[in-house]
Structure formats: structure tokens, C-alpha cells
Structure 1
Amino acid sequence: MEEALTSLDVTDHTLTEQEKKQLDEQGFLLLTGIMESDWIHQVRESYETLMRREGQSAGMEVHQETGTRRLADLVNKGEVFDRMYTHPKVLAGVYHILKREFNLSSLNARDAVPGQGHQALHADWGARTQGEPFHVVNSIWLIDEFTADNGATRVVPGTQHQAGSPGDYMSDPQGEHPDQQLILAPAGSVAIFNAHVWHGGTTNRTATTRRACHAYYTASEHEQQLDQKEYIRKSTYDRITEAARYLLNV
């Protein structure tokens, strides 16, 4: 693990002490300006090309969701996505949270169509017991700006430390939580969050979609959301680095 991270330029100083503290206390960290404009443009083009090409099958490798457009297995669907799951800042955040070996669980995309996208508050792992180690970390790559109106993700800071699940504390996890915050940021930003934090999509109240990619990681003792060994293409394997292969467990 350490060798792979070092080769991908991850060090003890990749995240500042303040950034590490925010991950510890709040459970999420928003980083702006991570993607340059050319990269954003290329991802948008690839995103829409894949949507047109895959049609009704889009996202089926992992999950399809009513009211959203989804893509899955982006590891195998373009070099433009490689830098997402190997980005030093993201990997440093994952290692800081999990504190042990980990792999990419999946690299997917999701955007809510106009009028849709609301989710109940949830954690990606389900209920935890008090003191149980963290198992999963997610990152949201903002391909479009996240605004208060276009379905931005909501998070409830600090809830990664809560035992149980949102339903144990709220009568209706579909509703608003008094402490929830929206992730609002320009395109090209990345939100790293402990996926045990309560979070959920909100309704897209605009006339256009709001695109995002999700690089999702899990501790290595757990199964990946998408079995990368089963899905890996030879062209992908030959293209990526040894460290990237380690992250994919291929």
C-alpha cells in the first residue's frame, strides 16, 4: 500500500493538518480547483458520449436509479477518468480515514434529471456500532457546478461518529436535518467524505442535469462494489500504472 501511494505522490503532507482535522471532525472535505478546464471539458464530452452509446443500459453494471442518469465501470471507459481514482489528494484522504489498505470499490457517475434526485439521508455502509472502524470513503467529482437548486449533495457533519443509522435519530430521513449542509462549489471541485457520514442527493429544481462522478473506496478486506478483476479490460490494464492496478486489485 505504502509503495503504491508513494508512487502516486501521496505523502504525509499531501493533506494539510487542517484538512485532516476537518475529515476527522466534520467527516468531509471540499477541495476547489482540482480539475483544470480542459479536463472538465473532456470529461463532459466522454460522459455524454457514453450516455448516448449505452442508452437504457447505462449504469447497469452497478446500479440504475429512477429519476437519474447513471454510468458505471468508468475505469474501463476512457483514459480521461484515470486521474480521478488515482488523485493524490483523494487517496491521502482515503488513507487518513480508513488507516489501512484499501481498493477502489467503483468509479461511477450520477446526475439527477430535472425535478428528480432526492434521496433519504443514508450512510453507504449502513448501521455501525460505536467504535467500529470506518470501512468506506467516497469522493464526488463535480463535473458541473453544484448549486442550491440543481440537486447538490447534502451532508450532516460529524454523523460518521454516530452509532446506528439516520432512522434511529430521525422520524423521516427523507426530510431535512437541522444540521445538514449542501456541498456547493464550482465545477472542477472534489468533495472527499467519510461515507459513514449521513448524506443524500437533493431535488434538481432546474431545467438541466447536474453531472458528477463518484470514486468510491473500501478497505481491502471487503468486496468491491464492482469486481474490478472481472471487468478489467486488457487495454485498461496495459494503460494504467502498477500502482493503479494495485488500487483496482487486478
Structure 2
Amino acid sequence: MSIDHEVALRPEMDMGRALEELGVRPGMPGREITDQLDEQGFAFIPGVLNEFLLESLRGRLNVLAAAEGDRGGSEVGQEPGTMRLSNLVNKGEVFATTFRHPVVLAAVAHVLGDFKLSSVSSRAALPGEGNQSLHADWDGDDLAPGDYQACNTMWILDDFTELNGATRVVPGSHRWGDDPEKTLEDSWAPHPDQQLVTAPAGSLLIFNGHLWHGGTQNRDTRPRRALHAYFTRRHNPQQLDQARYVTQETLDRLSPAARFVLDV
């Protein structure tokens, strides 16, 4: 049988096959996580990144930050008071963990059904900076309850503390169908129902893209770093057009299932 004939006989890639080939198994990500995503709009998972991977991610981000300087994050968007880096899919194989981790993929599938990666980026809140208004990562405010369009992940690279600008979340707000920046009188003010996500480095926060959340001010002397792998439904545009930016080197190292998740 020729190689071309073998390829022709392979079943077409779809969401179910892609998830299976990337290691998602029945029962993932677990009832506790899906219940938290449904009820609170977020789920916290400690100890996802080991020390070696943590150091590898931090080291690669340091190299990129030094090389890109003021251009950092320009592919997607820059933010005063932070060091942002984007298009990370193409800037190091180490970042592939963020969009290939089976628990992440299973959780995102639970929230969105069919989905694709929208972007992988990093955000470091600089000392004295990093405060954000409460916002959602999807700006549609006319969606029916449960019609979710986005799901985000936050890979915690430095301990999140009350001092260094940990993210605040408003549990259950993903179900309200409202944009906090349009709804609240002051979206920068503390919300009576908000919770601060304090967590050790290596932890993972998965959250519905409609959840109200925002960074707080970093009152420490060092940047507070996190990675974000952001996903959206397959019919939506991506935050970063992966097909436009993808390099041949990236394509060569990704499996067909991973390329399906990137939609390239």
C-alpha cells in the first residue's frame, strides 16, 4: 500500500479524535472540576507544572522579554504597567503544554464543545502596576445562559499572593450574561462577591471566558508572571490568527491532532 493511499484511508480529524489522540480519556477532567466550572465559572488545580517545567517556562519568557523589549505583545495587544508576550505557539516548544494538556483540553471541551486555540500569551504585572477593571474575556452580552464562546487558562508561574497582584474573580458571574464594564457603576472598585485567587507557582486556573475577573495591583518588588492559553468556539475568529502566524518549524513538530486544535 502506498503512503498516499494510507493517508487517504485515515479517518478525517475531528474534535473527538483530536482529543483522544492528545490523551483525553473518559471521565476527564473529573466531576469536581466540571462542577466548579458550571457553578463558579472557574476551577483551580494545584501542582500541574513541575519545577523543571516551571523553570523552563520562566527562562524562555525571560529570553523573549529581553529580545522583544517594547515590542512585546504587539501581535495581540499591549497593556501599560505589564510586560506582555504573545504568539508564543511559535516561540518555543515548551509552550505547547498550555494547549496540549489533556486535563485542560477536557475542561475546555466541557465548557465549549467544539473549540480551537485562540492564543497563547503571557502577562507579567510589574511592581506598582497591573490593576485591571473587572472584565470578561468575551464581550457579547446578549447570549443565552450556557451559550459560552470562550474559555481561558491561567498558568501560574510565580506565587499569586495578596501582595503581588493576584487575580480577583466573581463566582457565578459567567451565568449572568452581562458585561461588567457596562453593568457596574465602577468596574474598578472591589465587588462584594469577589474572591482573590492566591495560589503557589505551578498551579492552573481554568475559567469560563464570560467570568468577571481582573488583576489587582502588584505591591511587591518583583513582576508577577502568568501564561494564558485562551480558547474559543470553532466558528469564532481567533485572538491571534494561528494560520497566518504559524511557522513551518511549528507545523513540523505538531501532530495532526494538535494542528486541529490550532486550526492550522
Task: Write the distance in 1 (CA, Å) between the matches of 2:145 and 2:31.
Answer: 23
Match of 2:210 in 1: 196
Residue 231 (str. 1) matches residue 245 (str. 2): yes
Shift of 1:163: 2.3
Which residues of structure 1 form unaligned runs of 5+?
none
- CA RMSD between the two structures: 1.1
Shift of 1:168: 5.1
Residue 153 (str. 1) matches residue 132 (str. 2): no
Residue 43 (str. 1) matches residue 57 (str. 2): yes
Residues 49, 221 of structure 1: alpha-carbon distance in 2 compared, 3 angstrom cutoff: same
The list of structure 1 runs, each at least 4 consecutive aligned residues, that deviate by more than 2 angstroms after superposition, is 127-132, 167-170
Which residues of structure 2 form unaligned runs of 5+?
1-14
Which runs of structure 2 are paired with 1:133-172 in the superposition (5 Å)? Answer: 133-167=147-181, 169-172=183-186
Cα deviation, 1:5-45, whole Å, max 9, x if unaligned, reads 00111123112212111110000000011001000001111
Number of matched pairs: 249
TM-score by length of 1: 0.97
Match of 1:117 among 108, 121, 130: 130
Q: Identity over the aligned pairs, expressed in percent?
A: 47
- Amino acid aligned to 1:174: W
Task: Write the distance in 1 (CA, Å) between the matches of 2:97 and 2:256.
Answer: 14
Which runs of structure 2 are paired with 1:168-247 in the superposition (5 Å)? Answer: 169-247=183-261
- Amino acid aligned to 1:56: D
- Amino acid aligned to 1:235: E
Match of 2:18 in 1: 4
- Contact 2:41/2:208, CA 8 A, preserved across alignment: yes
Match of 1:27 in 2: 41
Cα deviation, 1:77-102, whole Å, max 9, x if unaligned, reads 00111111111111111110112x11
TM-score by length of 2: 0.92
Shift of 1:131: 2.6
Task: Write the distance in 1 (CA, Å) between the matches of 2:137 and 2:70.
Answer: 25
Residues 40, 124 of structure 1: alpha-carbon distance in 2 compared, 3 angstrom cutoff: same
Q: Which structure's CA Rg is the greater one? A: 2
Task: Write the distance in 1 (CA, Å) between the matches of 2:250 and 2:108.
Answer: 23
